[in-house]
Chain A
Amino acid sequence: MAVNDALAGTHKIQEEAAAQRPGQLMPILNDFSQELTTLNLGPTHPATHGIFQNILQMDGERIVSGVPTIGYIHRAFEKLAERKPFYQITTLTDRMNYCSSPINNLGWHMTVEKLLGVTVPKRAQYIRVIMMELARIADHLICNSILGVDTGAFTGFLYVFQEREKIYEIYEEVCGARLTTNMGRVGGMERDLSPAALDKLRAWLKSFPAVMKEFENMFNRNRIFMDRVVNVGPISAEKALSYGFTGPNLRAAGVDYDVRAMNPYSSYEDFEFDIPVGTNGDTYDRFIVRNEEIWQSLRIINQALDKLPDGPYHADAPHYYLPTKPEVYKNMEALIYHFKIVMGEIDAPVGEVYHSVEGGNGELGFYLISDGGRTPYRLHFRRPCFIYYQAYPEMAVGTTLSDAIVILSSMNVIAGELDA
């Protein structure tokens, strides 16, 4: 597909139309072709899935250029983080990629643990893996089903949203919250997997594959859907790497980079899973890669649940891990530690850490510089969407408006993470 030369494409269409009707003048079309229309896509357009604006120059139905404007929900997380004790920063990470907040939370805890030198027991690591993979499934389900909505298929969305609801119920059992989860603690998990959580998880693992299968049946080889997404917004592997793509978007372009496999964290090396890759990085490939990753995540959850080791669910790190409430009431040391941790009176060691996890939409990195105080000296979030969204104008130019919406949807851009 001639992606780049939109104007030439339009002229070609006109010439073909003129050739089909010899003798007829087409003055109106020719006049319009000289004039570009400015179209504001966003900031509050229902199809942009978040508050960001694209100022498009349109030649008829074709996009000639696009200028994205971002920052509408910028909340200065990096600045705020310089004033907050480590455990309070967890709630900031929730609000980045809010479709998969447990990954952000636990990724942040792992960063702090790396700085502090705390080793988390195996059981906590496995619970974390289960929760992170659930979050990945929820994230991919939203992205793929919304892509369906943008192509006109609402059924799939409604169908898998029920499953997302069940995932949120599992979150509730594990941390008490649904969307902004604040899950886990520095040093492990906040509580062990309760019998209710295990029951819900097992029931969901039984019922979900059938739904997923049906979702795939609805879309994967659907003629109407394929016509809308195949060869729409392709990106080559070289371009994708240069633009800093990570996650499913990069894998759809054919690069098998996955942080879970390359730099395993939280015992990912204990599990067997495949990394699906696409071939030409178009919208269809991104969709299929996400679907396949859902199956791989299910595989990981099943393995983790089967091998779930016994033992404590948090590290023995009283300086950093909040003691349980009954202990605070009975035990002097626990009370002291509780007080010191909550007031942020525990100093962290001096050092700098870069830790990255495979987020829902790419490599989510935390670069933490500690000068030994109660708060980070500097905390920089490597937000995958912020980095790859800048490729969007290049991918959208030359396509039609309806294709541009589909491309945006398949890139899984989350406004909260984009703007941090």
Chain B
Amino acid sequence: MTPQDAAAAPEAPVAEDPIKAQNAQVLALLTRLFGEGTFTDVHEPYGLLTATTTRERIHDIIAGLQQDQELKFHFLTTMCGINYPENPGQELGMIYHLHSMTKNIRLRLKIFFPIADPVVPTLTDLYNTANWMEREAYDFFGIIFTGHPNLIRILNVEDMDYHPMRREYPVEDGTREDKTDLFFGR
């Protein structure tokens, strides 16, 4: 570095984090495509752009992202259910991880809905891989995917009568006393 460079360096703008810049670009494109107010609670934990939307819009949004020539979210990395019993009206949720391999952008979309009405549109018409992922979410959280060709349990036995990943079912039998620990609250 020459002395001139050293002198100029402090005035030069601080190089922006490339991931942040990319996320900002993607977010701008998302709001342009799907309108203001579609996405709430936008943040980027550990560099992965995360947004919450509604179950009414989720199918259109993911279909739009898949077809968008600029972003090309051709790859559904994974999806999983989640249960927050303390959020009334939004107890259950689905979390989608999309990946654009051409641009190497990842995107996380979330939807939340009441546990009394756990109905979500299917993505099996967009991605073949959604089939088993949705069966898994149905199996463990009881989320119903409308339009799914074969929504039956996948990992648990068919005659199971509850959805075990919901928070109301503890891992251990609550009535057992031999495992109680005064200090560590087993």
Indicate whether A and B interact.
yes
Q: How far is the CA of A79 from the CA of B136 in the complex (A)?
A: 13
The 10 closest A-B pairs by CB, nearest first: A244-B129, A71-B155, A380-B80, A382-B78, A74-B155, A242-B128, A390-B132, A83-B171, A243-B128, A352-B45
Chain A residues contacting B127 (CB-CB under 8 Å) are: 242, 244
In the complex, which residue of chain A has the Cβ closest to the Cβ of B104? Answer: A262
Contacts of B133-186 to chain A: CB distance below 8 A: 133, 136, 140, 153-157, 164-165, 171-172, 184
The reply to whether A353 and B156 form a contact with Cβ atoms under 8 Å apart is: no
Number of chain B residues close to chain A: CB under 8 A: 35
The reply to whether B82 and A369 form a contact with Cβ atoms under 8 Å apart is: yes
Q: Tell me which of B7-15, B34-42, B54-62, B69-77 binds A.
A: B69-77
The reply to whether B78 and A387 form a contact with Cβ atoms under 8 Å apart is: yes
Chain B residues contacting A76 (CB-CB under 8 Å) are: 164
Q: How far is the CA of A382 from the CA of B46 in the complex (A)?
A: 18
Q: Taking chain A's interface residues, is the majority helix, strand, or loop, or is none over half, making it mixed?
A: mixed
Given contacts A79-B171, A387-B133, contact A365 B77 (CB under 8 A): yes
Q: List the interface of chain A (C-beta within 8 A of B).
A: 70-71, 74, 76, 78-80, 82-83, 114-115, 239, 241-244, 255, 257, 262-263, 343, 351-354, 356, 363, 365, 367, 369, 378, 380, 382, 386-391, 419-420
Sample (6) of A-B pairs whose CB atoms are under 8 Å apart: A243-B129, A382-B77, A382-B97, A388-B129, A390-B129, A420-B155
Say which residue of B48, B77, B108, B128 sits within 8 Å of A363 (CB atoms): B77
The reply to whether A82 and B171 form a contact with Cβ atoms under 8 Å apart is: yes
Say which residue of A83, A242, A354 sits within 8 Å of B97 (CB atoms): A354
Q: How far is the CA of A262 from the CA of B99 in the complex (A)?
A: 12
CB distance from A320 to the nearest CB of B (A): 17
Q: How far is the CA of A380 from the CA of B77 in the complex (A)?
A: 12
Say which residue of A241, A351, A420 sits within 8 Å of B74 (CB atoms): A241
The reply to whether B77 and A78 form a contact with Cβ atoms under 8 Å apart is: no
The reply to whether B95 and A239 form a contact with Cβ atoms under 8 Å apart is: no
Q: How far is the CA of A389 from the CA of B80 in the complex (A)?
A: 18
CB distance from A312 to the nearest CB of B (A): 24
The reply to whether A390 and B97 form a contact with Cβ atoms under 8 Å apart is: no
CB distance from B126 to the nearest CB of A (A): 8
Chain B residues contacting A78 (CB-CB under 8 Å) are: 140, 165
Say which residue of B108, B153, B155 sits within 8 Å of A419 (CB atoms): B155
Say which residue of B80, B95, B140, B155 sits within 8 Å of A70 (CB atoms): B155
Given contacts A244-B129, A387-B132, contact A71 B156 (CB under 8 A): yes
CB distance from B8 to the nearest CB of A (A): 29
B50 within 8 A of A: yes
Chain B residues contacting A115 (CB-CB under 8 Å) are: 46
Given contacts A114-B46, A390-B132, contact A79 B77 (CB under 8 A): no
The reply to whether B50 and A83 form a contact with Cβ atoms under 8 Å apart is: no
The reply to whether B184 and A244 form a contact with Cβ atoms under 8 Å apart is: no
B101 within 8 A of A: yes
Q: How far is the CA of A262 from the CA of B140 in the complex (A)?
A: 32
Can you add 19 more A-B contacts, CB < 8 Å, to A351-B46, A352-B50, A382-B97? A70-B155, A71-B154, A71-B156, A79-B164, A80-B171, A83-B171, A242-B129, A244-B75, A244-B127, A257-B101, A352-B46, A353-B46, A365-B78, A367-B97, A387-B78, A389-B132, A390-B132, A419-B155, A420-B155
The reply to whether B76 and A244 form a contact with Cβ atoms under 8 Å apart is: yes
Q: How far is the CA of A378 from the CA of B84 in the complex (A)?
A: 10
The reply to whether A255 and B106 form a contact with Cβ atoms under 8 Å apart is: no
